[in-house]
Amino acid sequence: MSTAHNRNVGIAATALLASSATLVCCVLPAVLVSLGAGAALVGLVSAVPQLIWLSEHKALVFGVAGAMLLLSGVVLWNARRLPCPTDPQLARSCMRLRALSNRLWIVAAIAYAVGAVFAFVLPMFG
């Protein structure tokens, strides 16, 4: 099996990880406060004080996540026509990895968009 397809899954997973940081920095605190769970948020921040840094540097977090999302999108786009092996079992595995990479990228893009809405759009209405 092609190592390029394995690499693509890793790249898409890295983009998903970076995009999930946008959810942690901006969506999680807003949701907890809106649900009346401010005490839970305080406990979470006490246990993981790095959340404050993420919130204070949300432009950097979104910049890195956006760059990773863009880079992984370009890599996946360029790899969309890579040949799969001729062996039927390896070809199925190759196609599954390709589909998994695409699904991971879509989930990462959705997470990034949700984080952007909570971080930059909703505060304008508050």
Confidence of residue 5 (pLDDT cuts 50, 70, 90): low
Tokens representing 86 are 């001729």
Rounded CA-CA distance 63/73 in Å is 15
What totals of helices (H) and strands (E) does the chain contain, helices first?
7, 0
Q: How far apart are CA 22 and CA 17, in angstroms?
A: 9
Mean pLDDT of 16-40: 86
> Structure tokens of 51?
């959340």
Query: pTM here?
Result: 0.82
* pLDDT for residue 113: 93
Nearest to 94 by CA among 109, 82, 76, 110: 82
